[in-house]
Amino acid sequence: MNTIDTRANVLIEEIRFGFGDCSLGAVLVAVSVNGVVAILMGDTRDTLRAELAGAFPDARLAHDQAGVDAIVARVVAFLDAPCSQLDLPLDIRGSAVEQAVWRALRAIPAGQTTTYGQIAKALPVPATAQEVGAACAANLLAVAIPCHRVVKADGSISGYRWGARRKRKLLNRETPALRLTN
């Protein structure tokens, strides 16, 4: 539920969130009235809470474990045993280029990878491989927008917002025959 700040007559968005734990570490799932706005992974809940506050500085953040527990459970189950898509209502926010990149990422099937350059060439808006990388880094919806499926032109793993180790593990879970080591 959003509230109005009567002093400034401004609508203040409420974002509810809860935590889970999986083999990749701590997970935070945050939900607006329109859907999931963030799926964050990290080593500690305090770090994840700070990351959420930084991403939504004007929102009222409410820890509501009971209210989001079912969604958290679905995310944790997906992280530990990924399937084709994580089917959740999403509240995706970003620039036009970010939105285009994220749509392209959601079209990559589980178990497959593509490169930053291939994504850039296929977009309906002009973008470079570096801009695709920046959009991946700005993604707040880990695994729901599968930026872990994007690799360097030589097939090696490059940066990942939540760490290259997590990216490698996610890819290996989706494609056991691939077993990335780099």
What the block records as the tokens of 131 is 């801009």
> For residue 28, what are the β-bridge partners?
19, 40
Q: Which of 22, 83, 136, 147 is catalytic?
A: 147
What's phi and psi for 9, nearest 5 deg?
55, 45
147 labelled catalytic: yes
**Whether 54 contacts 101, CB under 8 Å:** no
d(CA 20, CA 180): 26
Helix extents (H) in 6-87: 45-55, 65-80
Residues noted as catalytic: 147
